Amino acid sequence: MLSCFFFCALLTNISIATDRANTCTGPRRPCFSVEKKLLGLLGLPEDVNDAEIVQLLDIPEKRIITTLLVRYRKISSAVPKLVQIVKDSNTLLPEKMAAADALCDFGNKEWVATIKPLLLDPNSLVARTHVKIRVAGLLARAGDYSQFEIVAASIGDNRKWVRSMVIKALGNFRHKTEPVTDLAAELLVSLAITDPSPRLRQRAIYSLEKIAKVKPEATSYVIACLESNLDSPDRTLRIICKGMLRMHGREPKMD
């Protein structure tokens, strides 16, 4: 169980970090401090080229951090090696998952044939642990929404790290016409308004925003959640909600 917790926590943190990077604007400057940290962890100079980074994917102990750097820099030349990592039977599960997430960034779905069977096998580590939430969300990123119920079933879990995984996964169930998108949006609204953690409410709103970008009708849900949290005792959440409301053309009430 300890290893399962480690897998889930590690993979969730990777995804959150990468999401933050993807919200940066400009060539690479706003994310420079994060990128510099990753380079430091890998012992690489700032002028390292893409080929040198991709080579580090061959080193197991550096693989997950390297995968993060690949995602930050959007190094598409890493795709063949990432596919190899997923398919290698000797690769550890966290490495497979990190590689699959990176492959989704590049629109590659070759990982599905290897990872999905792990979810469907009741005896696998994935199916028997909360890693299944992560896999269900990854499948949604690849356009396979068939495992929605796995995610929805854990929405009321009393563990914050599990709900964080749920929120992350729900944001991937975004499609213009898939009925499951509306269900995902409704669950995110519930989490954004009622979750006891201000940070998770914030993440739920961000996931809901992802859905709204694909399905504009969900924008009204986003606005409702922002307005609902304007009186939150958490100052950071209040500030974020006010700023986001202004971005949506709504002037929030003043303190």
CB-CB contact of 93 with 7 (8 Å): yes
Global pTM value:
0.84
| Single-letter code of the amino acid located at 45 | P
- Of all residues in the chain, what percent carry a pLDDT higher than 70? 86
Of 28-32, 108-112, 127-131, where does the model show the most confidence?
108-112
In whole angstroms, give the CA distance from residue 201 to residue 237: 8
Mean pLDDT of the chain: 89
Q: How far, in Å, CA of 189 to CA of 1, rounded?
A: 31
What is the DSSP secondary structure assignment for residue 216, as one 8-state letter?
Answer: G
Considering only CA atoms, which of 20, 13, 9, 14 is closest in space to residue 162?
9
Contacts of range 215-223, beta carbons closer than 8 Å, 24 or more positions apart: 215/174, 215/175, 215/176, 215/181, 215/185, 218/181, 218/185, 219/248, 221/185, 221/186, 221/188, 221/189, 222/248, 223/248, 223/250
